[in-house]
Amino acid sequence: MATLLEVKDLRTYFYTYEGVVKAVDGISYEVEEGETLAIVGESGCGKSVGALSLMRLIPDPPGKIMDGEILFDGEDVLKVNPDDMREIRGGKMSMVFQEPMTSLNPVLTVERQLSETLQLHKEMSRSEAAKEAVNLLERVGIPDPESRVKQYPHQFSGGMRQRVMIAMALSCNPRLIIADEPTTALDVTIQAQILELMKSLTTEFGVALIIITHNLGVVARYADRVNIMYGGKIIERGTAQEIYADPKHPYTRGLLKSVPRLDLPRTDKLDPIEGQPPDLVDPPAGCVFRERCPDPTDECTQGAIEMKLIEVSPGHWVDQCCVNCG
Partner 1 sequence: MTTQTKDEAIKTDTLLEVKNLKMHFPVTAGIVFQREVASIKAVDDISFDVLRGETFGLVGESGCGKTTTGRCILQLNTPTAGSIKFEGNELTEFSNSEMRSMRKEMQVIFQDPYSSLNPRMTTGGIVGEPLVVHGLVDGKNEYRDRVEELLTNVGLNPYMAERYPHEFSGGQRQRIGVARALSVNPKFIVCDEPVSALDVSIQAQLINLLEELQEQLKLTYLFIAHDLSVVRHISNRVAVMYLGHIVEIADRDEIYANPVHPYTRALLSAVPIPDPVIDAQRERVLLAGDVPSPLNPPSGCVFRTRCPNPTDECKEGNSTMGLIEASPGHWVDQCCVNCG
Q: Does 241 bind partner 1 (CB under 8 A)?
A: yes
Q: State the nearest-atom distance from the C-beta of 114 to partner 1, in Å.
A: 20
Compare residues 7 and 235 and give the one whose CB is closer to partner 1.
235
Comparing CB distances to partner 1, the nearer of 46 and 254 is 254
Stretch that binds partner 1, among 51-59, 62-70, 184-192, 316-324 (CB under 8 A): 184-192
240 contributes a contact to partner 1 by CB under 8 A: yes
Nearer to partner 1, 76 or 271 (CB): 271
The one segment of 23-31, 63-71, 89-97, 181-189 that binds partner 1 by CB under 8 A: 181-189
Nearest approach in angstroms of CB 276 to partner 1 is 6
Contact between 191 and partner 1 per CB under 8 A:
yes
Closer to partner 1 by Cβ: residue 259 or 285: 259
Q: Any residues with CB less than 8 A from the CB of 3 and at least 6 apart, and which?
A: 30, 31, 32, 33
Footprint of partner 1 on 105-164 (CB under 8 A): 143, 157-160
Let me know: does 161 contact 100? Beta carbons within 8 Å.
yes
- Under the binding rule (CB under 8 A), the answer on residue 245 touching partner 1 is yes
- How far, in Å, CA of 52 to CA of 224, rounded? 21
Please confirm whether the linkage preceding 61 is cis (ω < 30° from 0): yes
CA atoms within 13 A on the CB side of 260: 7
Stretch 252-281: interaction string toward partner 1, x if CB under 8 A: --xxx-xxxxxx--xxxxxxxxx-xx----
Question: Does residue 220 belong to the site contacting partner 1 (CB under 8 A)?
Answer: yes
Per CB under 8 A, does 232 bind partner 1? no
Q: Which of 20, 221, 283, 316 binds partner 1 (CB under 8 A)?
A: 221
Cβ(101)–Cβ(108) below 8 Å: no
Tell whether residue 218 is a contact of partner 1 (CB under 8 A): yes
Q: How far apart, in whole angstroms, are the C-alpha atoms of residue 161 and residue 58?
A: 24
The binder of partner 1 chosen from 19, 62, 206, 217 (CB under 8 A): 217
Query: Smaller CB distance to partner 1: residue 55 or 160?
Result: 160
Residue 42 binds partner 1, judged by CB under 8 A: yes
CB count, 10 Å around CB of 271?
12
- Contact status, residue 308 vs residue 236, Cβ threshold 8 Å: no
- In the bound state with partner 1, the residue whose beta carbon lies nearer, of 75 and 187, is 187
Question: Which CA distances in Å does 6 have to 9, 53, 56, 89, 168?
Answer: 10, 13, 15, 16, 24
Number of residues that bind partner 1 (CB under 8 A): 48
**Of the candidate residues 118, 219, 293, 321, the single one contacting partner 1 (CB under 8 A):** 219
Site residues (vs partner 1, CB under 8 A): 42-43, 143, 157-160, 187-193, 196, 214-222, 240-241, 244-245, 254-256, 258-263, 266-274, 276-277
